[in-house]
Structure 1
Amino acid sequence: MTGKERALGDAIDWSFAAGVGVRLTRSEPAMSRYTRDAVQDELFSAAARAEGPVREHTRLDDGTEPPPAQVVDRPGWVRAAAASMADLTATSGEDPAGSSLRWVGKPAGAQAGAMLAYLSSAVLGQYDPFSRSLLLVAPNVVAVERALKVPPADFRLWVCLHEVTHRVQFAQAPWMAELMREAAADLATAVDEPMGDVATRVVSAVKDLRTPGDKAMSERGMLGVVRALQAQSQRESFDRILALGTLLEGHADHVMDGVGPAVVPSVARIRRAFDNRRHRNSSPVHRLIRLVLGMDAKMAQYVHGKKFVDAVVAKVGTDDFNAVWSGPDALPTLTEIDHPDAWIARVLS
């Protein structure tokens, strides 16, 4: 990696971003000390209870005892997320170019901090494959369960089923963390390319921004614009990390629906209310923010990914599906996500 590439990787001051994000976090739902302590205890317990059913359903059991979940507030999530991003984008070695982009670290960090502050009120939980820690954001869990008017104990366990699935995925396939780091490095690398070539791709991609018959920008159209701004090598890394994220989120949703009926009494009610919340219209400002941060594309990941996993498991069973965790070459491509039979033919035949 060249000095210029290292400078690009270090362009965001994540420590500064964490400080900005913490200061900008929104106020949390009102809770008494008793309620706050009870929520924390129940989330700890729910994460532990979710382990057995998830391992049994996925047939992914490494036989180890996982560390306890970490229950955090919004500032705590911002700090953890900033640390994770610093790890994801970390570079090593001396910079012979003199870190020519380091001067942008704090302004870029301020922007990243504002993004983390916004996300801090939306994230329910997160598994960090670099620190190997499972985070549950207590105030957000409480805010959503109150908004949905669902049984708190059931909702907390339901959320934990999703996040514990991510922990189990990375325990089975630890190579995915390095794949993520390599992709992030590729995407942060400066590539010299004629601006005319980039402009041509962008113009073509913008034509796909609107879904036929729909005034809203399609998530795939926006992804097309992002890809158009990238060089070929970067587009390959972007597609691979997008396919990986779609697989992980879809598999977690598949597991939630598979395990839920046996351990979460009100799972049907929760799923219905949660899906309605995902698709609920928001204000134009919130829609724009969600678009810029890629949150709508992430929601699409759940849908496309779950369809892929459902289809493969229905056709070949869980044990054969688990070949997907065997190595990078077994991951589905973006095309295969929408054509499960193509993945089956390539990987399992």
Structure 2
Amino acid sequence: MADTVRVALIGCGRIAQVAHLPALEKADGIDLVAVCDPSGGVARAVARRYGVPSAHTDQREVFTDPSVDAVIVAAPDRFHHSIAAEALAAGKHVLVEKPLASTVAEAEALADLVDRTGLVLQVGAMKRHDQGVRFAGRFVAERLGEVRSFNAWYRIGDLRPGIEATLFPHVHADLAARQVEAGFKADRRRYLLATHGAHVFDTVRYLLGDVSSVVARHREDGKDQTWQALLTTAAGAVGTISITVDVPGVPTEGIEVFGSAGTVRVDTHFPFYRRASTVHAYADGLTTVPELTDGDAYERQLEAFARTIRDGGSPVPDVHDGVRAIRLIEATAAAVESGAEVKL
């Protein structure tokens, strides 16, 4: 393989235009050679903006193109499994947006396909590549001691639309397609737990390891949604997760972990500010606040994807991490419905 990994972007909607494409423009070791979207107008507009030589409306043309080494799947969640499976079957490496698939069964099918093909599949939980989260991971492993408790939160504030309007570039859209997607997202209870839970559950697993049980409650007030969960990790730590949507105020995300020898708090900024998470790490009477300047987690995940393809090794996060995140999403939904503890 050449030093530069040649990729095609499948799905040119909002997340592709505000996150993946700007990151692709800057990322080292990766070259965008094609885009694909069911809307020809959107695909061509995106290709013009970023100087991409090839725009398609049929993804099969991408999968049969020998100049494409890998694909980035940024289509809506319900298409992740089918597109990723087709790409792997065609011999292409895959970076697929989180969540990996819509169900555990679909995710496990992708894991089997990765094992059979030996190709790279990286899940787009980009916060694994956030410098602050990485710093916290090292601190937990080396300085915190035995992990005893934690609390994590993911809150979408009602100021988010105004912040996005300021930070986002103009987004090319197909109005008919947008209306169709709005219909699928109307089941906010299902959609929001999957799209936001995929982030927070993956961060908990990255820092603290696997989760063994979940107790959860849910509240709905009009369009507002709240999940509160009590988790026990396989290592015995207990902690809470809060996912709240459309609450008054600014978006906020983070996790605080308490151990036998220290404490670490991670405040993760709204991703489109392109700031590394702020970390306060306490041990031995001293609080460390690292200065971290490489703040584009989308760019860092692309560069990590390309390195794994070129040099080998396991992607971060890999397909099995993606499966476990979906198991946690489904376990939380089941715990809400049953009112009982769900074992994993």
> Which one has the bigger helix percentage?
1
Task: From the CA coordinates, give the structure whose radius of gyration is larger.
Answer: 1
Under a length normalisation based on structure 2, what TM-score does the superposition of the two structures give? 0.25
Under a length normalisation based on structure 1, what TM-score does the superposition of the two structures give? 0.25
> Which one has the bigger strand percentage?
2
